Amino acid sequence: MLRPRLIRAPLRPRLNSTPAQSPLLSLACQKRSKHTVPPLDYNLHNECATKGIGTFLSANAFNISWAQYQTHVLQRLNALTYETEWALKQPKDILLGTARSAEDASVFNYASMAHNNHFFFKHLSPTSVEIPENLRANLEQSFGTMETLRKEMTITAASMFGPGFVWLVKTSHPGLAVGFKVLATYGAGSPYPGAHWRQQGTDMNTAAGTRTHDGIAAGKDYLAHSAYGAGKLDNGIAAKVAYAPGGTDLQPVLCLNTWEHVWLWDYGFGVGHDGGGKLAYAEKWWEMINWELVHKEANIQRRDMVAGGGTAPAATAAA
């Protein structure tokens, strides 16, 4: 007689618990670890552990996507950089320094994820923050209206096939006025020019393989970069990845995290008519942005940026 098989219910992640120390690190290493979870201005007393972030993320979602996940990536980064030149450097410096090194791919991934995830969370606010007028004027100079920018960022996030980040970046070209643009990175890709080889701005699930000029070009570019990263020397590719495309300088000022562990807990897949899903998550995110911090990142007051797209008077630029 056959005995019935017992089906175990899947375990849900433990919440509101103190993250365990990494088994990959010795006690001495853990005590000397440079990379620790940074504080968030709106969570100095750990209030988000029980209250979440306003109406955007519940306490459970916050604990998974920030407290637990940020601890996880930093523990891995500490293990990978222990007793190396990167052990005492910040995640941003590490990702820029390892972006072109194939043997340091894991180090780059964890450093970039630590930086990107923190960049996302630190620009949130549990309460509404009014956008400064000069920031609004410059964004409208680039996008026409704030509604256009909102739609471009939220729809881009909802359309991404796979996890990543949607970035609002300040662009600068020699001799041209400073502006803003939206770009997407996949996985642990980075928007910084110094790490543009690992920007991962193309969704290889949809872009490559199509019988169009762009699809073929995307596939060839991906294979060439992969071969170079694996150690196959190619002077043409080496020259191409040495600098950012077109010499464009990019400075991130805001980002939206599209990894499933951030939004799936609260918003689900949006199946049927429940009104949830990644688009609902992205639209709610727009209401929780700390625009004062975005304004600070954009550094408008110290740039020749005016609403009309021209050059600011000397006295203003020097302020």
* Domains located in the chain, CATH noted: 47-122 (1.10.287)
Sheet holding 164-172: strands in order across?
A: 179-186, 164-172, 249-257
- Residue 243 has phi, psi (to 5 degrees) of -135, 160
Q: Is 43 helix (H, G, I), strand (E, B) or coil?
A: helix
Helices and strands (H, E) in the chain, number of each type: 14, 3
pTM (two decimals): 0.76
Which of 154, 165, 168, 209 is CA-nearest to residue 187? 165
d(CA 61, CA 228): 39
CA distance 143 to 150: 10
**Nearest to residue 65, comparing CAs of 15, 18, 126?**
15
Q: How far apart are CA 13 and CA 161, in angstroms?
A: 25
Spatial distance between the Cα atoms of 219 and 216, rounded to a whole number of angstroms = 5
Q: Can you give the pLDDT of all 319 residues of the chain as single tens digits?
A: 555 454 444 445 555 444 434 444 444 444 455 899 999 999 999 999 999 999 999 999 999 999 999 999 999 999 999 999 999 999 999 999 999 999 999 999 999 999 999 999 999 999 999 999 999 999 999 999 999 999 999 999 999 999 999 999 999 877 777 899 999 999 999 999 988 666 566 565 555 555 677 666 655 665 555 444 444 455 555 444 444 444 568 999 999 999 999 999 999 999 876 679 999 999 999 999 999 999 999 998 544 444 444 444 433 333 3
Conformation bin of residue 19: beta by default, left when phi > 0, alpha when psi is -120 to 50? beta
